[in-house]
């Protein structure tokens, strides 16, 4: 079967969001352009890494190419609306790619579907006919920063981390490996 690549060159919207309660959330990335909307699921840690790497990429682009980047996201770029429904998962993200397209002066994010085998790096950010299905999104530096800030807020909206091991605390506490298996209850403020 041929590889399907959904490309969003000028998305109306590209956002991170979740469905469910902390501790039982499903993480989504959603891209919309005109009447087309694609939603993919990913792990919380993948979302956190993507947000962090976008920030690093923007700093590097500014340093190397002198691209003008705002320090803060302008209010008109802040998207706090919920994910669009109906929410239908296109695929689960396995591999992510991130780059800078100097021609369009855009951050390029590529999300590849989970596969059973290893993903050949040559298919990431490439239009080859072989490889997993993908979503490729082009964002201006300002929109990329706005996306990264929202993704970071979504990740931090979950359960508090244990101060000793950084694993998420359940409402009833958790068995902390740094406490030799003793059950640690969440400390109240």
pLDDT, greater one: 126 or 56: 56
Q: DSSP letter string over 112-180?
A: EE--SSPPPGGGTTS--SSS--EEEEEE-HHHHHHHHHHHHHHHHTSPPBPTTT-PBPBTTBEE-GGGT
| Domain range list for the chain | 5-158, 161-189
> What confidence tens digit (pLDDT) does each residue in 120-164 have?
777 677 777 888 999 999 999 999 999 999 999 999 888 787 888
In this prediction, residues 28-50 reach a mean pLDDT of 96
pLDDT for res 1: 57
pLDDT for res 142: 92
How many residues make up the chain in this entry? Answer: 189
pLDDT for res 189: 46
Q: Residue 1 has which token pair?
A: 């079967």
Does the structure show a pLDDT above 80 at 93? yes
> What confidence tens digit (pLDDT) does each residue in 62-72 have?
888 876 776 77
Specify the pTM: 0.83
Does the structure show a pLDDT above 80 at 42? yes
Judge contact between 83 and 15, C-beta under 8 A.
yes
Does the structure show a pLDDT above 80 at 56? yes
Which helix (DSSP H) or strand (DSSP E) does residue 37 occupy?
A: strand 36-42
Range 5-158 has CATH code 3.30.1380: no
pLDDT for res 148: 95
């Amino acid at each position: 079967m041929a590889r399907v690549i959904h490309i969003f060159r000028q998305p109306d919207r590209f956002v991170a969001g979740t469905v469910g309660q902390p501790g039982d959330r499903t993480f989504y990335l959603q891209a919309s352009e005109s009447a087309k909307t694609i939603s993919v699921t990913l792990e919380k840690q993948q979302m956190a890494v993507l947000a962090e790497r976008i920030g690093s990429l923007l700093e590097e682009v500014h340093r190397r190419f002198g691209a003008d980047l705002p320090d803060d996201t302008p209010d008109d770029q802040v998207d706090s609306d919920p994910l669009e429904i109906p929410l239908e998962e296109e695929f689960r993200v396995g591999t992510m790619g991130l780059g800078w397209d100097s021609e369009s002066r855009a951050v390029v994010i590529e999300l590849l579907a989970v596969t059973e085998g290893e993903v050949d790096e040559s298919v990431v950010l490439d239009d080859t006919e072989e490889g997993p299905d993908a979503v490729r999104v082009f964002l201006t530096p300002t929109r990329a920063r706005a996306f990264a800030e929202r993704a970071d807020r979504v990740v931090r909206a979950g359960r508090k981390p244990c101060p000793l091991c950084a694993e998420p605390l359940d409402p009833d506490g958790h068995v902390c490996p740094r406490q030799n298996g003793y059950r640690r209850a969440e400390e109240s403020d």
